[in-house]
Amino acid sequence: MSNSASGHSPSAQLLRLATAGSVDDGKSTLVGRLLYDTKSVLADQIDAVTRASVDRGLSTPDLSLLVDGLRAEREQGITIDVAYRYFATPARSFVLADTPGHVQYTRNTVSGASTAQLVILLVDARKGVITQTRRHAAVLALLGVPKLVLAVNKIDLVENPAQVFADISAEFNSLTTSLGWAAEDVVEIPVSALHGDNVAVRSTTTPYYDGPTLIEHLESVPVDAEPHRVGLRFPVQYVIRPRTAEFPDYRGYAGQVAAGTVSPGDEVLVLPSGTRTTVERIDTADGELAVAGAGRSVTLILADDVDVSRGDTIVSPQDAPAPIGEFDATVCWLSEKPLRPGARLLLKHGTRTTQAIVGTLVERFDEQNLTAQPSPESLELNDIGRISVRVAEPIVADDYAVNRHTGSFLLIDPAGGNTLAAGLVGDALSAVELGTSVPA
């Protein structure tokens, strides 16, 4: 396996990953094990966990306590947030989005996995691939998560583990192939998060498995921050005009590079107005830059005094997307109030928020049977479907399959400000081998 898809060594990269899985599949223990085995927790935290484990009559530390304290606090509220955890090995640094497993919090899986380059999906070896496994896999496929690891946990608790692991792997491979993943992008690993088998240390109890440990795989898996190359995409977050004695004429456009790169001298296009100009320089708090890439927050100084506002997007002219006012999109509905045709909502794309009307509900995706129901009457909580949307002000968006950052949006309740749906521009279902179900 090569170390990098883009020619860089893994040590130079940050891997963004997320966890997903059903309740009680050992996700907390696995995350605790990753933190413990990479020495990413403080000694006093380990001491506290050890004492609490002894008090419970356990002979070994219950590593789930490293993360469950925070989760218990989060579950007291109405909203269950995604917890971000940071750990590192000598080979690579990691940001892990730890998402809750309850089915009613599928929206948090969407949030946590939306920026992930890899997701660890857990199953309990005693239960195998269940309804929630299929739901999570479908959501991850729609989100375009490039790499997937199936951690078959509690492998020490089943009889004939070699056969159990082979059967679960075969069923999961059939599912992921139907969902559009290439075989080389999906890896299955038998683990015992409780005992640490095949997490950081290769287990002697799984002779049937000769692949990498989970951490070895995380260290070596090829990742690319931008798997689909597009030119500059720079949503303008803020217009900086100090109008001070020191900076009387300063006009800069602050934001984060969403895709591509930008350098002084580059010709750029301001959308949706279509004005052309040139980048004069790139300012940061630490001085000027010769080049800024995706993920870098900068202030662009343009050569001409052009009209640029928050919500505009500065792009490269070579592959500039056309501003769109009406489009098809795939959405994951996150509200208990159903979505029906004609709904008037707010759409937030990048730094632009505009009024939107939902037109037709084209189809609803049944993630259990991999079928599509045409023309549903509504989309309910956690439903995934394809809809048509019309916006009051055009948005500068790429198809989600081309760029995840500029192809995603949120639908928001104009009355309360709550997020109602996560949306993907285009037909994200096109990669899935769908059958057609009869309308209800």
pLDDT single digits (tens) 215-263: 999 999 988 766 567 899 999 999 999 988 888 889 999 999 999 999 9
Give the Cβ contact number of residue 309 at 10 Å. Answer: 12
Task: State the average pLDDT for the chain.
Answer: 87
Residue 324, classified by CB atoms within 10 Å of its CB into exposed (0-12), middle (13-18) or buried (19+), is middle
275-284 and 83-88: which strand pairing?
unpaired
Q: Is the pLDDT of residue 435 over 60?
A: yes
User: Tens of pLDDT along 387-419?
Assistant: 999 999 999 999 998 888 899 999 999 999 999
SS3 202: coil
pLDDT above 90: percentage of residues in the chain = 61
Q: Is the dihedral of CA 395, 396, 398, 404 positive or negative?
A: negative
Whether 362 shows a pLDDT value over 90: the answer reads yes
Overall pTM > 0.75: yes
Q: 25: number of CA atoms within 13 Å, CB side? A: 27
* Segment 261-303, tens digit of pLDDT: 999 999 999 999 999 999 999 999 999 999 999 889 999 999 9
In 361-400, which positions are buried (b, 16+ CB within 10 angstroms) versus exposed (e)?
Answer: bbbbbbbeebbbbeebeebebbbbbbbebebeebbbbbbb
Euclidean distance between the first and the last CA atom of the chain, given in angstroms as a whole number: 47
User: What pLDDT is attached to residue 396?
Assistant: 95
Q: What pLDDT, on a 0 to 100 scale, did the predictor assign at position 406? A: 92
Distance from C-alpha of 405 to C-alpha of 259, rounded to nearest angstrom: 8
Tens digits of residue pLDDT in 73-93: 444 443 345 678 888 899 999
Q: What is the rounded distance in angstroms from the CA atom of residue 89 to the CA atom of residue 83? A: 20
Contact call for residues 303 and 265 (beta carbons, < 8 A):
no
Q: What average pLDDT does the segment 25-32 reach?
A: 84
Query: Are the beta carbons of 287 and 272 closer than 8 angstroms?
Result: no
